[in-house]
Amino acid sequence: MIQRTIRFHKLVRSLGVASSLSPSSKNLGVYRCFGTVASPNAEQASDPFEDSYDLDKHEYADVDWDNLGFGLVQTDYMYVMKCSNDGKFEQGQLRRYGNIELNPAAGVLNYGQAIYEGTKAHRKKDGNLLLFRPDQNAMRMKIGAERMCMPSLSVDQFIDAVKQTAQANKRWVPPPGKGSLYIRPLLLGSGPILGLAPSPEYTFLTYASPVRNYFKEGSAPLNVYVEEEYDRASRGGAGGVKTITNYAPVLKALTRAKSKGFSDVLYLDSVHNKNLEEVSSCNIFIVKGNVISTPATSGTILSGVTRRSIIEIARDHGYQVEERVIPVEELSEADEVFCTGTAVGVAPVGSITYQGKRMEYRTGAGTACPQLYSTLVGIQTGQIGDKKGWIVEID
């Protein structure tokens, strides 16, 4: 039965069955779908060919795949690489996952000198693993390292580390349709330093955890709160890079919003307290008719890999996409709002509350969000042929 299912997939693949994703789309020749169209919530949805992975049951770690959220599940291995005094990263190696030892005076502990990345590996039905645009994360880490006065590894070293981490932890990569392996590369100032200065030594680490839904809402629409007291980033600061120092300061606003029943917080620009920036760990898009807009990245907003990919996919689908300044008032005119990020995917926003006023948005069938997410997840999981060179396949 299982062999038959796999043969069926191969046959469908060889036929290159095309799917109709959106009749209005103009560039959809680029998306060739194999077998089945990815579900709008493909990470959450059950797999239509569920039995096709029974074959390898004992190659899987003992995880309750149906109840994965976004909590840390410790896997077997992490990847570690040290940077020598001349700023060059030596050959890294896989080690059993576990605690690391740090000098109490380490730059990261005292001055927050560290940056991180987040990327995912998906398991294809044939068992191979697919990485999504790891070169983009590598480039972003390079830019972040430069901003934080840290040496950086090369794009090839980064991709190799991500590949090795995925491969070594393969049994932790969820079955197709049940989630993905979230991979977390981390570059930190590990050397001791007392006065404020760049750390004398750096360590690059990569670890992983199987994940599924980021929000406790699952794939249900989010209820977002517009924060006016706390800023996420300031002009000339480091909001545009993925430094660890951008995250602890938003916890106050985030926990306060969550205690009031909101899913997350939307931050405004710190100069005028008026223009949309981003959500705690994702970018934001608003839809009005055929126009999809997202705040331009001008130093205070993280340039998300998902954001960039969705902009391209939306244009392929025939939408007009604008990266620009978006005044908060535009929220009351939008038809639809959604968030993008590696961890969150493409998440629909059901409501946004600003100055005590709750604005509601269209979600579900017929909206842009599931259409775009379906294409993105289809590419990420190998159900849609990758014509853009975004996928790195590991067997």
Ligand X SMILES: Cc1ncc(COP(=O)(O)O)c(C=O)c1O
Binding site for ligand X (CB under 6 A): 118, 278, 281-283, 302, 304-307, 340-342
Distance CA 199, CA 155 (A): 22
Nearest to 33 by CA among 385, 392, 394: 385
Active-site pick, 124, 142, 170, 242: 242
Closer residue to ligand X in complex, CB, 231/278: 278
Contact criterion met (CB below 8 Å) for 377 and 345: yes
**Minimum CB–partner distance for residue 88 and ligand X (Å):** 27
Active site residue 260: no
* 129/183 with CB nearer ligand X: 183
| Closest residue to bound ligand X by CB | 304
Three-state secondary structure call for residue 65:
helix
Q: Where are the beta strands (DSSP E) in the chain?
A: 77-83, 93-96, 114-116, 119-123, 129-132, 180-189, 202-211, 222-227, 264-268, 276-279, 283-288, 291-295, 320-324, 336-341, 345-354, 357-360, 391-394
Strand-strand pairing, 336-341 and 345-354: antiparallel
Nearest approach in angstroms of CB 342 to ligand X is: 3
Which residue bears the tokens 């109840």? 67
Distance of closest approach, residue 395 Cβ to ligand X, in angstroms: 25
Question: Cβ closer to ligand X: 83 or 138?
Answer: 138
Nearer to ligand X, 134 or 221 (CB): 134
- With 0-12 / 13-18 / 19 or more C-beta atoms within 10 angstroms meaning exposed / middle / buried, residue 115 is buried
Smallest distance, ligand X to C-beta of residue 144, A: 11
Specify the amino acid at residue 53. Y
Q: Catalytic site residues?
A: 242
